[in-house]
Chains A and B, each alone.
Chain A
Amino acid sequence: MSTGQAPHTGAESEAGAGAQARTPGTGARQGDEGLYLREVPARVKDLSVAYRSNGRDITVAENVSFEVAAGRTLAVVGESGSGKSTVAGALLGHLRHGSRITSGSVEVAGRDVFSLGGRDLRALRAHDIAMVGQNAGNALTPSMRVGTQLEEALMARVPARAERRAEARALLEKVGLPGPDRIGRRYPHQLSGGQQQRVAIAMALAARPRVLVLDEPTTALDVVTQARILDLVADLSAELGLATVLVSHDLGVVARMADEVVVMREGAVVEAAPAAELFAAPRHPYTRRLLASVPRVSDAGLAEVGEDGTRTVRDRAPVPEDAPEVVSLEDVVVRYGRSRAVDGVSLGLRRGEVLALVGESGSGKSTLAWSLAGLRAPASGRMRLHGEQEGDLAAGARKRPLALRRRIQLAFQNADTSLNPRRIAREAVRRPLRFFGLASRSDADARARGLIEDVALDPALSDRLPQQLSGGQRQRVGIARALAGGPDVVVADEVTTALDVSVQASVLALLDDLRTERDLAFVFISHDLAVVRGIADRVAVMKDGRVVEEGPVGAVFAGPNHPYTRRLMEAVLEPDTAGGAGSDAAGGAAGAAPDASEGPDGAATQGTAEGEWIDLGGGHRIRRGGE
């Protein structure tokens, strides 16, 4: 099939040729090879998709056109509801239930996808086009070993069982999974998210497709894993000459991967240009605004984006030197069974300060936050609230006195699940007001409405059910609910992660306003360093339940750093650094074995070494010992 287009490794093309000789289907297809070479692997022409709701046609995609050449990557970018996933599905001949094509065509490997019947469509999906979804955990069958699943995907191409097994092993090796024999025998749930995604990519490649569709392939992964997966995909598509369609909302990822970019908004293409051109000089105001909304590691504060896409960096209100400490943690240990999810963390948080907890998934940052909120009592260590209300936080929520409990409140990551779908927004805010005895029955409604107004929402929306609100609006209601208790400290667990960039920017600005207006302290958990740079005053980097580095945001981002922090920073993808030094370095670091350096760079000469920590002054300290 694709042997003519792409340089394969020796073993690969041999196996491929062998398979083709034995399969009548592929043999026949070989005769068309000359034709295949000339045409574009994937072409979307004037595509419009609509679905009917309440007797009206609602357009999901409108006159979308693009084509992808072999070996090239095209990115479809847009915010949620822009129709980008619809376009991705259409490439595979899949439309959401109730949707239909109102105009245009989709051509893959020279065939009109939507004119194909069941059998032909299956053949197309088995040989020419493959997809990798956002959540590989959902795409793999939980009750089947991954090796067997891979072999199943090879069934169409490799008839001999022994060969299939060998090929499956080769594929697992190709996607960079260590010990392919061992991995192949595992079940999906025994693999990490990154490993699952690699298996999903291996399955997509099993068919030797000509077109690879990636729908938000790294959104569910943390930055370091994301960088590795993206490198893998880039290498593979170059090696195999794939035409890649990448669907993403993350402009950093797009800048790293794409040759061409199509920007979509509300179903329509607003701009299509080569990546370099688009990122250097976006023409459409929407693209400009979108690009400007992306937080950058280089911003010293929150960026504010004007209608025309100009960005100004908001000055950060400094935390006064004499601000009292509101929460202090000393050697806190939180256990899950035998493992220590949080292992000896000591931190302090001052009034009006935003402390960011940064780290990969599984680093213990969320556990620490939940422990603060009283959802999981620490096994040992001291955790205290200071100020007006003095109290011990080591007890679970129900054991804390009411007056203490309300001083620490949680805001959640996932806007879809943070509100009860059966209760209107106002009710979500009203409940804590009543529960903590902060409002009487008669004025609770008015107070709730007021709080909803405080988070910059139209109070008219307070009568709506969560499903009638957008993600950003729901997130604001969640924040209003956290504020209802009149807290000193708000623990914000990845509150902006699931939001579109422009919405994220406005929610971040809201948090920043609330902090200054109400003198709130925030524990801000995030894996996005650029966001942290904008909102936080201090940063604590966590790894395996320990804080490996802590300091004022400026100092931490200026370096020197713990090698782990450095790895996190190198993995950050920004639209400006397209193919620049930053991402190359990240690629190198990711490809190589984990950083071997023993200590923080240059720190030994500047800092005063003392015990476990290297103190760099100004509250910036780094844990001794590398990874």
Chain B
Amino acid sequence: MSEPNPVDETAPESAQAAPAEGAAPAGMVRTTLRSLLRSGPATAGLVLVAVHVLVAVLAPLLTSYAPTANAPDSALLGPSAAHWAGTDALGRDVLARVLYGGRYALMVSFAATACAVALGTVVGCAAALKGGWLDDLVMRVLDAVLAIPPILALLVVVTVLGAGPAVIVLAVTVVYAPQVVRVVRAAAMGVAPLDYVTAARARGERTLSILVREVLPNIADVVSVEFAMRASWVVLLISSLSFLGFGANPPTPDWGLMIAENRTAMTVVPWASLAPIIALATLVLGLNLSADGLAKAWGVDRVKEAR
């Protein structure tokens, strides 16, 4: 993790880094990409995520079947030329449902993660910058929220408000935002005492403008890694909810729901449950690997930040 003697590392490093560094932000994107592509697992992760996104976007072009069209006469078929992954008990094409299922999983997860990370970032930065009683209050409230098991909290929200994408997004935001707050607050605390923030304070700038101008650009890496990491958990969580019957409603093509629907017919048409399982596993794996790759490329130490 940390070098035994950071002193002799940093001092001359900064002196030498100055001339060697490439140009501005574009250079940073390039170095990040280069570092990601150099690492095998990170590349694999990125490719997996990209494939999932592509497939979800192009689903109507990849299959001619509608994901919700019942066909009782061709129920429970094994893989064949017509139905590559077979059909389920209602005669729906499994492959089509898996392909369309990615749309639902990606969209809801993305929206939920974005909300959780955005809320967490704003609250975390505010707590770090303002400090004092606000910080104390926020942290104690978060401790209380964190003490509730996420799946339980989700179930309560869903049972009270009913299932549906909007509710799920809200529920996931409530459950995950506190954890994001902790990570972002820690990162922002590292930036808040630096002189450029002090200079802005001495100018009497508003907290919001200090946050946007001085703090956020310098914790963007932490926030991005947090986003990628959370996304993989959110995908899993949402699928679990669907599996338990609290997420997507039946005709919707959703991986968790498909596994739940088809597991009783596991011995007859194994592919009807295997296909969504593989899709889910590869997406989560891809997100995880990309998050790790990003963290490494930017030198974000999640263990340290979460402390």
Query: Are A53 and B7 in contact, with the CB atoms below 8 A?
Result: no
Residues of B within 8 A of A402 (CB): 204
Residues of B within 8 A of A215 (CB): 7-8
Residue from A81, A138, A406, A410 in contact with B5 in the complex, judged by beta carbons closer than 8 Å:
A138
Residue from B195, B205, B213 in contact with A418 in the complex, judged by beta carbons closer than 8 Å:
B195
Query: Are B12 and A83 in contact, with the CB atoms below 8 A?
Result: yes
Residue from B8, B18, B213 in contact with A133 in the complex, judged by beta carbons closer than 8 Å:
B8
Query: Are A412 and B199 in contact, with the CB atoms below 8 A?
Result: yes
Tell me, yes or no, whether B198 is within 8 Å of chain A by CB.
yes
Residues of B within 8 A of A174 (CB): none
Alpha-carbon distance A94/B214, docked complex (angstroms): 36
Given contacts A412-B198, A420-B218, A422-B217, contact A88 B17 (CB under 8 A): no
Tell me, yes or no, whether A510 is within 8 Å of chain B by CB.
no
Alpha-carbon distance A469/B213, docked complex (angstroms): 21
Query: Are A468 and B8 in contact, with the CB atoms below 8 A?
Result: no
Residues of B within 8 A of A414 (CB): 195
Interface range, B side: 20 to 34
Closest CB of chain B to A2's CB: distance in Å? 24
Residues of B within 8 A of A597 (CB): none
Alpha-carbon distance A478/B198, docked complex (angstroms): 12
Residues of A within 8 A of B9 (CB): 96
Tell me, yes or no, whether B160 is within 8 Å of chain A by CB.
no
Tell me, yes or no, whether A102 is within 8 Å of chain B by CB.
no
Tell me, yes or no, whether A421 is within 8 Å of chain B by CB.
yes
Residues of B within 8 A of A54 (CB): 20
Given contacts A417-B196, A419-B196, A423-B217, contact A81 B12 (CB under 8 A): yes
Query: Are A96 and B196 in contact, with the CB atoms below 8 A?
Result: no
Interface range, A side: 35 or more
Tell me, yes or no, whether B13 is within 8 Å of chain A by CB.
yes
Residues of B within 8 A of A410 (CB): 198-199, 202
Q: Report the nearest B residue to A413, measured CB to CB.
A: B195
Query: Are A373 and B202 in contact, with the CB atoms below 8 A?
Result: yes
Q: Report the nearest B residue to A397, measured CB to CB.
A: B204
Alpha-carbon distance A89/B12, docked complex (angstroms): 12
Residues of A within 8 A of B21 (CB): 467-468
Tell me, yes or no, whether B307 is within 8 Å of chain A by CB.
no
Tell me, yes or no, whether B58 is within 8 Å of chain A by CB.
no
Given contacts A397-B204, A435-B205, contact A134 B16 (CB under 8 A): no
Q: In chain B between 5 and 34, which residues have their CB closer than 8 angstroms to a CB of chain A?
A: 5-9, 11-21, 24-25
Closest CB of chain B to A126's CB: distance in Å? 14
Q: In chain B between 186 and 207, which residues have their CB closer than 8 angstroms to a CB of chain A?
A: 194-196, 198-205
Alpha-carbon distance A485/B11, docked complex (angstroms): 32
Closest CB of chain A to B125's CB: distance in Å? 15
Tell me, yes or no, whether A212 is within 8 Å of chain B by CB.
no
Q: In chain A between 129 and 156, which residues have their CB closer than 8 angstroms to a CB of chain B?
A: 131, 133-135, 138-139
Alpha-carbon distance A88/B15, docked complex (angstroms): 17
Tell me, yes or no, whether A416 is within 8 Å of chain B by CB.
yes
Closest CB of chain B to A13's CB: distance in Å? 30
Residue from B7, B16, B205, B218 in contact with A421 in the complex, judged by beta carbons closer than 8 Å:
B218
Residues of B within 8 A of A424 (CB): 24
Query: Are B203 and A86 in contact, with the CB atoms below 8 A?
Result: no
Residues of B within 8 A of A468 (CB): 18-19, 21
Query: Are A53 and B20 in contact, with the CB atoms below 8 A?
Result: yes
Closest CB of chain B to A559's CB: distance in Å? 36
Residues of B within 8 A of A83 (CB): 12
Residues of B within 8 A of A398 (CB): 204
Residues of A within 8 A of B199 (CB): 410, 412, 418, 481
Choose among B7, B13, B201, B213 the residue with the greatest number of A CB atoms under 10 Å from its CB: B7
Choose among B198, B200, B220 the residue with the greatest number of A CB atoms under 10 Å from its CB: B198
Query: Are B15 and A80 in contact, with the CB atoms below 8 A?
Result: yes
Alpha-carbon distance A197/B295, docked complex (angstroms): 34
Tell me, yes or no, whether A237 is within 8 Å of chain B by CB.
no
Q: Report the nearest A residue to B197, measured CB to CB.
A: A420
Tell me, yes or no, whether A409 is within 8 Å of chain B by CB.
yes
Residues of A within 8 A of B200 (CB): 431
Query: Are B8 and A432 in contact, with the CB atoms below 8 A?
Result: no
Query: Are B8 and A467 in contact, with the CB atoms below 8 A?
Result: no
Closest CB of chain A to B21's CB: distance in Å? 6
Closest CB of chain B to A378's CB: distance in Å? 15
Tell me, yes or no, whether A60 is within 8 Å of chain B by CB.
yes
Residues of A within 8 A of B11 (CB): 80, 85, 134, 216
Alpha-carbon distance A555/B301, docked complex (angstroms): 54
Alpha-carbon distance A481/B9, docked complex (angstroms): 30
Residues of A within 8 A of B198 (CB): 375, 410, 412
Residue from A139, A420, A471 in contact with B214 in the complex, judged by beta carbons closer than 8 Å:
A420
Tell me, yes or no, whether A58 is within 8 Å of chain B by CB.
yes
Q: Report the nearest B residue to A436, measured CB to CB.
A: B203
Residues of A within 8 A of B203 (CB): 397, 405-406, 431-432, 435-436, 485
7 contacts between A and B (CB under 8 A): A96-B8, A216-B11, A397-B204, A398-B204, A418-B199, A420-B218, A471-B15
Instruction: Give 8 new A-B contacts, CB below 8 A, not counting A374-B202, A400-B204, A422-B218.
Output: A85-B12, A133-B7, A412-B195, A414-B195, A418-B196, A420-B214, A424-B24, A485-B203
B residues engaging A (CB < 8 A)? Answer: 5-9, 11-21, 24-25, 194-196, 198-205, 213-214, 217-218, 220
5 smallest beta-carbon distances between A and B, as pairs: A81-B15, A422-B217, A418-B195, A412-B195, A133-B7
